[in-house]
């Protein structure tokens, strides 16, 4: 098992891609810290179903909560080997409707998706460096690579996160690797009602279907395990970026 006795923190892991990622790390021997900002009962249930896992509620856009999340991880497990920045928020707003994109909406999305990710990584970095083999994986999006996505603020936040990945990788070695995984359209609770989009992907993407959360989780775990990869954004989109 690639992560035996290693400690892995997965933010936003009470459902969807985050939950599948937490489960796969646990199957690989990791001690997982499950996290969510809300859905506490669900998050606790996920942690209870995994060996040696704990659940910590924290909104990564909150500085004090983020610090408490890292502290709880270290207090319980004594170390942190891998950070998966999966927590994210969006707003479903058609791109042409600029008037609907308020400052409040834009700020909230950036606070979670970009600043929250940076802050948590900054807090985690001393502990990751201490292992000599730390790994950070940011979960971004195809929307950060192409003019698509649920809203302009969401797409812009994921584009920023892609570049943040590169910037952090450039200053975090050799002790810590920083990479990103950029999913395309994936079947999760977020996208459960997006039948039209799922149908479109089944016709457009070379693999002729939307992805599943466990398929993205597999990529995240593989990237986290890679010993000679850093500063990379790996698309997991069924080939949509080829179109």
- Degrees to nearest 5, angle at CA 175 with 170 and 180: 50
Residue from 3, 55, 118, 154 carrying the catalytic annotation: 154
**Edge-to-edge strand list for the sheet holding 134-139:** 54-57, 31-36, 7-10, 82-85, 134-139, 176-183, 233-236
As given in the structure block, the two tokens for residue 232 are 């990379």
Is 228 designated active site? no
Q: How many CB atoms lie within 10 A of CB 15?
A: 17
As given in the structure block, the two tokens for residue 56 are 């910590």
Sign for the pseudo-dihedral over CA of 204, 205, 207, 209: negative
Whether a cis peptide bond, with omega within 30° of 0, leads into 238 is no
- Degrees to nearest 5, angle at CA 93 with 17 and 236: 30
Are residues 29 and 53 in contact, defined by beta-carbon separation less than 8 angstroms?
Answer: no
Which residue has 């292992």 as its token pair? 131
| Residues with a known catalytic role | 154
């Amino acid at each position: 098992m690639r992560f035996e006795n290693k400690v892995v923190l997965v933010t936003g892991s009470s459902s969807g891609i985050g939950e599948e990622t937490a489960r796969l790390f646990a199957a690989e021997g990791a001690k997982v810290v499950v996290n969510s900002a809300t859905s506490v009962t669900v998050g606790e249930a996920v942690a209870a179903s995994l060996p040696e896992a704990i659940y910590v509620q924290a909104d990564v856009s909150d500085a004090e909560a983020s610090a408490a999340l890292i502290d709880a991880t270290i207090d319980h497990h004594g170390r942190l080997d891998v950070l998966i920045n999966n927590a994210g928020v969006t707003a479903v707003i058609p791109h042409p409707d600029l008037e609907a994109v308020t400052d409040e909406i834009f700020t909230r999305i950036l606070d979670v998706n970009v600043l929250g990710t940076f802050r948590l990584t900054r807090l985690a970095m001393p502990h990751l460096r201490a292992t000599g083999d730390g790994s950070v994986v940011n979960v971004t999006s195809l929307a950060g690579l192409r003019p698509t996505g649920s809203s302009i603020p969401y797409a812009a936040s994921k584009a920023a996160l892609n570049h943040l990945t590169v910037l952090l990788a450039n200053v975090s070695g050799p002790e810590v690797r920083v990479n990103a995984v950029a999913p395309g359209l994936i079947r999760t609770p977020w996208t459960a009602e997006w039948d039209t989009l799922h149908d479109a992907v089944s016709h457009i993407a070379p693999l002729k279907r939307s992805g599943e959360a466990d398929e993205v989780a597999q990529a995240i775990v593989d990237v986290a395990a890679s010993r000679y990869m850093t500063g990379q954004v790996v698309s997991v989109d069924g080939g949509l970026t080829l179109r």
